[in-house]
A = this chain, B = another copy of it.
Amino acid sequence: MNTENLDSKRAGGAGMIDALITPALLLDESKLDRNIQRLASHISALGAVLRPHMKTAKSIDVARRIYPGEPGPITVSTLAEAEYFADYGYKDITYAVGVSPAAAVRGLELSRRTGANVKFLLDTVEQADALGDAGRKTGVVPSAFIELDVDDHRGGLKPADPNLVIVAGRVKAAGVDLVGVLSHAGESYALSTKEALVAAAENERAETVKAANVLREHGHACPIVSLGSTPTAHFAENLDGVTEVRAGVYVFFDLVQHGVGVCTLDDLAISVLATVVGAKPEKGWILVDAGWMALSRDRGTSSQKVDQGYGVVCDEQGRVYEDVIVSQASQEHGILSIRSGSSKAMPILPIGSKVRILPNHACAMAGQHDFYSVVNGKSPTIQARWNRMRGW
């Protein structure tokens, strides 16, 4: 394969956006920097540490924008991410998925090899025992959070659940270092008013701190009190008793977050560049070469007030075409049309024209691509190519 030539085109060829092979994932670095700065300032002002979730960007280059100097604390969703970032010098890593026996051994082997402190998540005595076994097998003392359930979203224990103290005792008995409690207000994604988001943030804080205090009453120091979701992180007004906040999608933002009310459309840092490949004027359709393989199948806005289809359509420079969305998607085709109920007309886009499509869900769209073509505002040139890692 003539990969050299193709890789050069994929990275921008002569460095121009309009020479990119489409569909291509664009990342606007000025928006990225602005988003990073915004949450960092907010969390710092509230006296907590931000532990960004790397599952969104999965890129050392994005991590370096968050931490331009030394590597700092991070969260990961897979052990492959933990391995990738540990090999770039990240040593303080929370693996925020419930630990299985095999994952415990693999994570501790990473600790032994790189010196990284991989902190695991658990909510059962079985996991405490498995982690203890893995510690003995690998010769590394494991670290664990107890996962909390603050809003009936997924896993975790309620602060009042007697299992909280039972599991904590088993963690200690298994020879595991109990580093604290961890919660995620996942239901905040379903909200859309400031009042509700502030309340969700305060509930997340209060419940998490309550659980930490229960453990302290039972003799566990519980040094880390960790919580977070992108909506609650931005709407938190008080983090008393919290030591750290986790958030991921905030670096890029997306249409779901826009629908929740966390960001403006102008904050969305990633998009897919697509080429017009057909039209059905009698139906008001324009066809592009970006389907769900490039956009992802995510339809997160379908349950929000404004359903954005498979994404909002912008011109090649990123200016939104009002009420134009990707209304249908097959594997490599997207159909652009006017949002139902709108009186706007479709823009005129001849074959070969380019558009940018904003994501419903940034983690999902980015996950369909192997690299970012980094752009900056309205500049027609590619600033850099940043690779993404993937897999498990």
| Residues of chain B with a CB closer than 8 A to A124's CB | 278-279, 351
| Residues of chain B with a CB closer than 8 A to A38's CB | none
User: Which stretch, A39-47, A135-143, A312-320, A325-333, touches the partner chain B?
Assistant: A325-333
Say if the beta carbon of A289 comes within 8 Å of chain B.
yes
Tell which of A80, A275, A331 has the most Cβ of chain B within 10 Å: A331
Is there contact, CB below 8 Å, between A294 and B332?
Answer: no
A residues whose Cβ falls under 8 Å from a Cβ of B: 1-2, 6, 10, 21-24, 55, 77-80, 83-84, 87, 97-103, 106, 113, 123-124, 126-127, 130, 147, 154-155, 186, 275-280, 287, 289, 292-294, 296-299, 330-333, 335, 350-352, 363-364, 367-370, 390-392
Is there contact, CB below 8 Å, between A154 and B101?
Answer: no
| Residues of chain B with a CB closer than 8 A to A278's CB | 98, 123-124, 127, 147, 155
Is there contact, CB below 8 Å, between A98 and B277?
Answer: yes
Is there contact, CB below 8 Å, between B367 and A293?
Answer: yes
Cα distance A24–B80 in the bound complex, in angstroms: 13
| Copies of this chain in its oligomeric complex | 2
A61 to chain B, nearest CB (A): 17
Is there contact, CB below 8 Å, between B1 and A364?
Answer: no
A285 to chain B, nearest CB (A): 8
Is there contact, CB below 8 Å, between A97 and B186?
Answer: no
